[in-house]
Chains A and B, each alone.
Chain A
Amino acid sequence: MAAEVRHHQLVVVGGGLAGLRAAIEARAAGIDVAVLSQVHPARSHSGAAQGGINAALANHPDGHDDSPQRHAFDTVKGSDYLADQDAVIQMTADAPGVIFEMDHWGCPFSRFDDGRIAQRPFGGAGYPRTCYGADKTGHYLLHCLVERAYERRVTMYIEVFVTDLIVIDGVCRGVVAYDMLRGGFQAFTADAVIMATGGAGRVYSNSTNAIISTGGGAAIAYRAGVPLKDMEFIQFHPTGLRTTNILMSEGARGEGGYLINGLGERFMERYAPKAMELAPRDITSRSIQTEILEGRGIDGKEYVYLDLRHLGAHKILERLPGIRDLSIHFEGVDPIEAPVPVVPSQHYTMGGIDTDVDGRTRMPGFYAAGECGCVSVHGANRLGGNSLLETIVFGRRSGAAAAEELLGRESEAVGADAVAAAARRTLADVEARVSTLAARGVAGDDPYAVRVEMKAAMKEHFGVFREAVQMRAGLEKLRTLKARCAAVGLRHSGGVFNLDMMRTLELEGMLDVALAVAAGALRREESRGSHARTDFPKRDDERWLKHTLAYLDGAEPRLEDKPVALGAFEPQERTY
């Protein structure tokens, strides 16, 4: 396939909220920026976010004395003190400004009677500070940024599937991608790259995430030598639909919804007597899982009820119309008339590519923002409403930082021999990988069987509760699967929109990410935030108040420590 090289000063991989916000910022600074996305940006997984985005606007009558400092405290406490406090303070300070900017750009936030942006209570927050647009906040924010990207004439390559970084002497100089609509691989050289590809939820079988949330960007960086941070911290959302794990927003509980067990009890009073259903997600998911394990699920089965009936049809139709539709279509239950069967479901990857507050990684020229990165502002447990905020705050900051780095520097054109040669090498490398896979054909192992077993292993061995023996068994399964992955074959070669090739290529990265989660989880001998070990039930600040860094060393992760930035808030016991 004839390969061509395209050059831009800045390439942003991923067209969700973080990627678009980064691109818009760089464009405004006069940078030639291109967004590369596997799907049209309006289809990105950011659009599935429901409940809202946090900012201390102090619009809510009960929140008139809210402040970025209080938002920072709630976030750090919610993180079980693993978040970097300087990063959190930066994010909460930037929050009101970026929300007003989204409003000025047309985001249709819901409104209070006085015309100001409406805010609702959310889990783990001391004040009602979650700004929302009904229960479709992600969809509204995403379309708003897509619209702005069109207005700013940001170059977009739509339906290109990035597989590799182009690296010269340890400096990132572009990416290589499969052109889904035209077929073949293509190099996109650049003076800097921002990775913004989202989370890795789909390494689990029980994820709320979009099917494309496979951790691709993190895996590509990891393979190129950039460390991943805190991968063992996986968020389980308390309320995924029972049969599909589709998200039922935390906004449902923010508006007053109850969690009910098989005995008809509001069981959260046993676990978080003050916060009740609005305890943070890690605590609420553990509470539900405990009810299920102790036989108090509905009919003794593996689910509980999210009961909204007492809110009444009017409130449900006005504030929660989206989750009502999802519940009707995907679970066959109308929340106005019946309680909704829910189960804790993998939801968010707290860990990711290790970055500073401007998205910089350890590789010069390479930035990351959004869920594929880890600043870290979520630490061991993310608060609801902080992920949308992270995408916009750190998308903007990484776009600005990359622009500042590139401004005034002459863009090295395609002709720059070293870059062109490196691009050719990287292209040849991925084409050789594909040829090897294609040569095995049906004689190779079945990539879809490996995928299914990996997802099941992650759910079974690295779920809400974890324990050493069970995790070791899981790690062994993953190692076996990694070995099998090295022998899989392509069933379909070449052409356009080759799903077989894309899904097979992404499998290895998914396994690398899964192994980083597993290794980090087994090593961390404490319980902190989402990482709950039955064999080490207490948080251990003496030994473990530190980040995990995973480097890919051969086939296995090599783990190191990194200190946590403290200083503003003294670690204390977390009660709600």
Chain B
Amino acid sequence: MPEARFRIKRHDPERDASGAARYDEFVVPYESSLTVLEGLFSIQEHQDPSLAFRYCCRAAVCGSCAMYINGRYRLACQTNIARLAEGAITVQPLPHMTVVRDLVCDMTEFFAKYEYIKPWLIRTSGTPERELPQSPEDRRKLDMPVDCILCGACYSSCPSVWAEGNYLGPAALLKAYRFEVDSRDEGGGERMPAWENERGIYRCHTITNCVEACPKRLNPTEGIQWLKRAAVRRRFLGKKK
């Protein structure tokens, strides 16, 4: 039976009051294939029941299990170890985030920033009895941003977030873009002040770590650049969108 060697960054807030982290090694036998998430479950069930990690869908759609695996942002459930380089598999929580325990990060600030940009469709002119019409062409503009699973990988990867904790970060701004670009949305006037400021779009220096980090291959930077252009259009040309 083949075996995989895991090297996992650990942190127990009750025992390691100093904040010091350690690495534990585990050898996981498996039959034909193994994802990192399956490896973590095997360790939790058979070797170390105290191991903590988030999980839910195991199909790359819920955004629970974003981690830093062999030096790259990945979803543990979507990462088959056959695709990783030989040798030990190093698993760390999302870097630059406060750790709750082991691989579980505190997402409070991440979701507070999401909420801050008013991530909901705003209508000022009311709604019809049936659907709000939207052309397929306008709908296609949503294809990229609506696929975001809020996993936090981009946020964790962004040097502007590391440098300025107040920065809203790529995920929240991508969500702002998702609504601003929606032909049904009329919330520009209400929402723009939340993202067009020093906490928002102007803090993005197009480093594009977020693009590389995204496990869904989305492009938050592109969304932020669109918002910058929209801000100019609206401020100087009096456009609504």
Contact = CB atoms under 8 A, between A and B. Distances in A.
Interface of B: 12-14, 32-33, 44-46, 49-64, 78, 80, 100-102, 104, 106-107, 111, 114-115, 118-121, 123, 127, 129-136, 139, 142-143, 146-147, 149-150, 179, 182, 184-185
Given A110-B139, A495-B14, A140 B146 contact: yes
A347 B80 CA distance: 24
Contact of B60 (A44, A326, A492): A326
B56 A45 contact: yes
A40 interface: yes
Contact of A116 (B44, B52, B131): B131
A27 interface: no
A500 interface: yes
A497 interface: yes
A106 B107 contact: no
A365 B36 CA distance: 43
Contacts of B14: 495-496
A42 B60 contact: no
A543 interface: no
A224 B193 CA distance: 50
Contacts of B115: 150
Given A139-B61, A140-B146, A108 B139 contact: yes
Contacts of A113: 135-136
A329 B61 CA distance: 12
A104 B142 CA distance: 15
Interface of A: 39-40, 42-45, 47-48, 57, 99-100, 103-106, 108-117, 133-134, 136, 139-140, 143, 147-148, 150-151, 181, 210-212, 243-244, 246-247, 322, 325-326, 329-330, 448, 490-492, 495-500
Contacts of B49: 490-492, 499-500
Nearest to A147: B120
Contact of B121 (A106, A115, A117, A247): A106
A48 B121 contact: no
A334 B74 CA distance: 21
Contact of B45 (A212, A246, A448, A497): A448
Contacts of A211: 55-58
Contact of B63 (A42, A117, A134, A148): A42
B9 to A, nearest CB: 15
A33 B101 CA distance: 30
A104 B45 contact: no
Contacts of A47: 57, 61-62
Closest 7 CB pairs of A and B: A106-B121, A115-B133, A491-B49, A500-B49, A497-B52, A43-B62, A448-B45
20 contacts: A57-B130, A100-B129, A103-B131, A106-B184, A108-B139, A109-B139, A111-B135, A114-B133, A150-B115, A151-B120, A181-B100, A212-B55, A212-B56, A326-B60, A330-B78, A492-B49, A496-B101, A497-B102, A498-B50, A500-B44
A106 B44 contact: no
Contacts of B131: 99-100, 103-104, 109, 116-117
B170 to A, nearest CB: 16
Contact of A496 (B45, B78, B100, B129): B100
Given A211-B55, A326-B59, A104 B127 contact: yes
Contacts of A498: 50, 52
Given A47-B62, A329-B78, A330-B78, 20 more contacts: A39-B64, A43-B63, A44-B56, A104-B121, A105-B120, A106-B184, A116-B131, A139-B149, A147-B121, A181-B100, A181-B106, A244-B59, A246-B58, A492-B49, A495-B50, A495-B101, A497-B102, A498-B50, A499-B53, A500-B50
Given A104-B127, A106-B120, A106-B182, A499 B44 contact: yes
Contacts of B142: 108
Of A45, A47, A108, A148, most buried by chain B (CB within 10 Å of CB) is: A108
A43 B119 contact: no
A150 B60 contact: no
A150 B61 contact: no
Contacts of B185: 106
B81 to A, nearest CB: 13
B118 A151 contact: yes
A247 B130 CA distance: 31
B119 A147 contact: yes
Contact of A48 (B45, B59, B101, B107): B59
Given A39-B56, A43-B56, A492 B50 contact: yes
B59 A115 contact: no
Contacts of A57: 130
A39 B60 contact: no
A206 to B, nearest CB: 13
A553 B45 CA distance: 31
B62 A105 contact: no
B107 A40 contact: yes
A45 B64 CA distance: 11
A497 B106 CA distance: 12
A74 B227 CA distance: 46
